[in-house]
């Protein structure tokens, strides 16, 4: 790995309204974040804001930074640092060489990726994955997990995959993208149409008949009974999202086979989302003859539920004798997968992912 003692990595949380700048070293934030307006409609102002933000962070560092690494919305050619036609950033229409531009301005290596990938990488290296393995060890369970599928529930349906500490980017930078998967209720629709802020708002509006424009946060408050509204419709809105997300996650797990971590603003409603998601993941499939098989080869557990978490951590491995020998081997006859919400927080996980991605690329 690259020598981490040489300096920090500059990071950026790119929102549609504001840019938040920081710096990470040894998986920790080493400066107080600063923010500047994004100017999504004016390329000159937007680029100037990015440069100014990074310069402000550099002023507060004790040593020179070693790289710039951050998440930026797509579509993009992330490998070459080219940002494409962003719906929320009209200034970038036609393709903007943001990575090469920043490299010229700062004389530093620049790495750009999508937030789903970097969220997954942060959780795999410093979040949910090492934490669950630590808890398995404490429970006396020899099972260890090395792979992770992370999804974000927010404006869109983001995703990322880490296989044995290696981020799956894909040959076209599309590895781990779940948003474009088929929707459970209409395979011609994007999964994201059922797993996003707009999906929760639409579902609540249709179920409740309330045409007012209320946010998922307000819908969650209605579900909790702390705000006036149709509580049953609010709960069902989050359950529907969990069910549709669970469909896509299940399809992905048949390839990835790893721990699942949920992040993003809507994940705050996990008490309603995860039970529906787990129910979908533990569903069944059939053959033409009518034979029934589990939807997944693994049983899914809600790790936010203490009872389910205890069952997940419980050591159900067996010791079998090696034929024609007095030696033994461990047999994991029960296959399990856990679904957890982010322990780091989405933004922090993305920043840590960006930091480690830069170190890995520099090594």
Question: Residue 300 is inside which H or E element, if any?
Answer: strand 299-302
pLDDT at 70 over 60: yes
**pLDDT tens-digit map of 92-132:** 888 899 999 999 999 999 999 999 999 999 999 999 999 99
Q: Taking residues 135-157, report their average pLDDT.
A: 96
Q: In 3-state terms, the chain is what percent helix, strand and coil (to 5)?
A: 40, 25, 35
Distance CA 305, CA 342 (A): 14
DSSP letters along 304-354, please? TSHHHHHHHHS---EEEEPTTSS-EEEE--S-EEEEEE-SS-HHHHHHHHH
Helices (DSSP H) in 257-291: which residue ranges?
Answer: 270-281
pLDDT at 116: 93
The pLDDT value given to residue 2: 45
Which residues, 6+ apart, have CB-to-CB distance to 166 below 8 Å? none
Do 173 and 192 contact (CB within 8 A), yes or no?
no
pLDDT tens-place string over residues 290-344: 999 999 999 999 999 999 999 999 999 999 999 999 999 999 999 999 999 998 9
């Amino acid at each position: 790995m690259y020598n981490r003692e040489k300096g920090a990595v500059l990071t950026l949380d790119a929102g549609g309204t504001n840019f938040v700048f920081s710096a990470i070293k040894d998986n920790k934030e080493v400066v107080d974040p600063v923010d500047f307006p994004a100017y999504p409609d004016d390329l000159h102002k937007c680029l100037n804001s990015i440069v100014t933000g990074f310069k402000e962070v550099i002023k507060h560092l004790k040593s020179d930074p070693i790289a710039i690494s951050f998440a930026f919305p797509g579509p993009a050619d992330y490998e070459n640092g080219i940002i494409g036609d962003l719906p929320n950033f009209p200034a970038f229409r036609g393709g903007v060489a943001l990575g090469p531009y920043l490299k010229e301005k700062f004389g530093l290596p620049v790495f750009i990726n999508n937030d789903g990938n970097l969220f997954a990488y942060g959780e795999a290296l410093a979040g949910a994955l090492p934490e669950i393995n630590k808890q398995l060890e404490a429970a006396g369970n020899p099972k260890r997990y090395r792979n992770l599928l992370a999804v974000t529930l927010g404006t869109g349906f983001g995703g990322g995959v880490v296989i044995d500490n290696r981020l799956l980017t894909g040959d076209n930078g599309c590895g781990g993208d779940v948003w474009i998967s088929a929707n459970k209720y209409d395979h011609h629709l994007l999964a994201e149409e059922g797993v996003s802020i707009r999906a929760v708002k639409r579902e609540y509006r249709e179920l409740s008949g309330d045409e007012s424009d209320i946010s998922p946060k307000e819908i969650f408050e209605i579900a909790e009974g702390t705000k006036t509204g149709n509580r049953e419709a609010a709960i069902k809105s989050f359950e529907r999202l969990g069910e549709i997300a669970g469909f896509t996650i299940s399809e992905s797990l048949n390839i990835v086979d790893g721990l699942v971590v949920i992040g993003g603003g809507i994940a705050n409603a996990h008490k309603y989302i995860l039970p529906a998601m787990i129910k979908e993941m533990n569903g069944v499939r059939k053959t033409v003859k009518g034979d029934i098989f589990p939807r997944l080869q693994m049983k899914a557990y809600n790790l936010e539920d203490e009872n389910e978490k205890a069952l997940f951590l419980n050591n159900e491995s067996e010791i079998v004798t090696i034929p024609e020998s007095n030696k033994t081997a461990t047999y994991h006859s029960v296959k399990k997968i856990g679904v957890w919400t982010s322990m780091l927080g989405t933004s922090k996980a993305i920043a840590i992912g960006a930091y480690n991605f830069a170190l890995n690329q520099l090594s």
